[in-house]
Amino acid sequence: MISLTDTHTHIYYTTVEQALKDMMKRCTANNIHRLILPNVDTASIDLVYGTVSRYPDQTFAMLGLHPCSVKEDFPDQLATIKTFIDSSMDRGTAQAPIYAIGEIGLDLYWDKSTLKWQQEAFRIQTDWAKTLNLPVSIHCREAYEELFEMLEEVQDGRLSGVLHCFTGTFEQAQKTIGYGLHLGIGGVVTFKNAGLDQVVKAIPLQYLVLETDAPYLAPVPFRGKQNESSYLLYIAEKVADLHGVSVEELSRITSENADRIFKLPKPAIFDR
C-alpha cells in the first residue's frame, strides 16, 4: 500500500477554501496522506494553523523564522513565534501541536548583508529545537559552507531534522548526513540536467525524505507551473526508479523516516 508523506509544503498559501479542498482531494487520490507545513514568519502563523484546523488528520504544523524573513526586527519576530511554540507545547491548550522548528536556515542568494542576523536566528532556533526535543527543517541556498560552520557549532548530539530541498553535491550530502540530518528531496530530482538524480541514487534511502516545497519547484511534467502536494507522487516515482525499488517500498521507507524524525501520528487511513 502506498502512503506518502510530504515533509515540507506551503499549501496554506492556498486561501480559497474550495481550491484548498480540491488540492487535498488530489493528495488523497495520489496517496499523499500527511503534509507538514513550515511557517516562514509571524504573518503566516495564522495561515498554518488555519489549514491544520481544517485538516487535522492530514496536516501538521512546524513554526520558525525563514532566513529570508530575518530582518533588523528578527528578535521581535522570534519572540512572537516562540510564544506560539510555547502554547503549542502545552497539551492542555486548544492550540494544535507543532512537530518541528522550521523553516530556519541560511540564504545568501537574495541578501548577503543579513548573514550575521541569519546566523544568530539560526543559533536561537536550533537551541529551541534541542531544548524542546523537536527536529528542525533547514533551508539552505548558496550557503552550504556557512551552514556547515553553523552545524559544527550547534550540533551537540541533540539536533535532528531535515536539510530541506537538498540540491547539493554528493560530498555535501555526506557531510549533511554526518551532522545527523536527513535530506529532503523534492522536484529538482526530476529535472533533466540538474544532476541531483545521480546524487540521490548514491545516497541510501534511510537518509531520505520526500517533499514538494509547494507552491515552488514543481516536478516534471509540471515544471514551471505552480506546485502542489499531490505532485509528490511524481517525485516518489523518480526516486523509486533511481533506487530500483517499487513506489510502495519507497513510500514505506521514506514515511518511516519521516515518522522517526517528526514523530507524526499514523495516517488517518490506518487504524490508530
Q: Kindly report the CATH number assigned to the domain that includes residue 168.
A: 3.20.20.140
Nine cell digits for residue 114 = 543579513
Per-residue pLDDT of the chain in tens (272 residues, 90 and over written 9): 899 999 999 999 999 999 999 999 999 999 999 999 999 999 999 999 999 999 999 999 999 999 999 999 999 999 999 999 998 877 555 568 999 999 999 999 988 999 999 999 999 999 999 999 999 999 999 999 999 999 999 999 999 999 999 999 999 999 999 999 999 999 999 999 999 999 999 999 999 999 999 999 999 999 999 999 999 999 999 999 999 999 999 999 999 999 999 999 989 775 43
For residue 271, being part of any structural domain is answered with no
* Residue 267 is assigned to a structural domain of this protein: no
How many CA atoms lie within 13 Å of 77's alpha carbon, on the beta-carbon side? 25
Q: Residue 167: CB partners within 8 Å, gap ≥ 6?
A: 188, 194, 196
Distance, in Å, from the CA atom of 42 to the CA atom of 79, rounded to the nearest integer, reads 10
Contact 253, 2 (CB under 8 A): no
- 120 within domain boundaries: yes
Does residue 269 sit within a domain? no
Which helix (DSSP H) or strand (DSSP E) does residue 242 occupy?
helix 232-243
150 within some domain? yes
Count: domains in the chain: 1
Domain that holds residue 77: 4-262
